Amino acid sequence: MATTNDLKNGLVLNIDGQLWTVVEFQHVKPGKGGAFVRTKLKNVLTGKVVDKTFNAGVKVETSNVDKREMQYLYKDGTDFVFMDTSTYDQLHVSETVVGDAAKYLLENQSAIVATHEGAPLYVELPAAVVLEITYTEPGLQGDRSTGGTKPATLETGTEIQVPLFLEAGTKVRVDTRDGSYLGRVND
């Protein structure tokens, strides 16, 4: 338990059985009436952001969320198997928890896995990853100045839009938040 005076960014609160991360907070002392704390909270599982106001000094329940860097090993049925690089313990994470991160996840890649009381909450990838294009239609000669795009399949099986001049076998940097092409990577 903590009071509203202990709130800080990144703290995880347990409100009505749901986990919420404090995104931002502000202590407010109006000229009249009692002080209060205005917060912006993000649901750990759904990502939904809400504004919530607490009276100053009110007790709030905190939760411990353990974020560790883990290495993705392989897929086992519908589970993704991660290994804690410090203890070599393996953790099975269901594909619903991995979510969209699965589109950009390669074997032996590092990711942050957040757990609460041993249960995986979410998988966080770096903002950008480097993946190889396995298939794309050849670009047409002279079609480079239009700035158009074409679909390309990455080594994870995900399809993204890339510039017309890129070919299969090219390594590209991809934004893991929205799947956008960020640039070509030269080996």
155: CATH: 2.40.50.140
50: CATH: 2.30.30.30
Q: Which residues are registered as beta bridge partners of 21?
A: 12, 42
Q: How many CB atoms lie within 10 A of CB 161?
A: 12
How many domains is the chain built from? 3
Is residue 11 located within the same domain as residue 55?
A: yes
pLDDT recorded at residue 176: 86
Per-residue tokens: 66: 């353990």
Q: Are 40 and 26 in contact (CB under 8 A)?
A: no
Instruction: For residue 116, give Cα distances in angstroms to 9, 68, 120, 171.
Output: 18, 11, 6, 36
Compute and round to an integer the Cα radius of gyration of the chain.
22
pLDDT recorded at residue 72: 92
- What is the Cα–Cα distance from 84 to 143, expressed in whole angstroms? 47
Instruction: Give residue-wise pLDDT tens across range 13-53.
Output: 888 888 888 888 998 888 888 889 899 998 887 778 899 99
What amino acid occupies position 174? V
Instruction: Give residue-wise pLDDT tens across range 63-118.
Output: 888 888 999 999 888 899 999 988 888 999 888 888 888 888 988 989 988 888 87
| Reported pTM | 0.70
Domain residue limits at 13: 2-60
pLDDT recorded at residue 142: 58
pLDDT recorded at residue 70: 92
Is residue 77 located within the same domain as residue 53?
A: no
Q: Are 121 and 114 in contact (CB under 8 A)?
A: yes
Is residue 85 located within the same domain as residue 46?
A: no
Average pLDDT estimate for 133-141? 79
Is residue 82 located within the same domain as residue 50?
A: no
pLDDT recorded at residue 147: 67
Length, in residues, of the chain: 187
pLDDT recorded at residue 71: 92
Boundary of a domain, candidates 104, 124, 144: 124
Per-residue tokens: 51: 């504004």
Is residue 11 located within the same domain as residue 56?
A: yes
pLDDT recorded at residue 144: 56
Is residue 120 located within the same domain as residue 137?
A: no
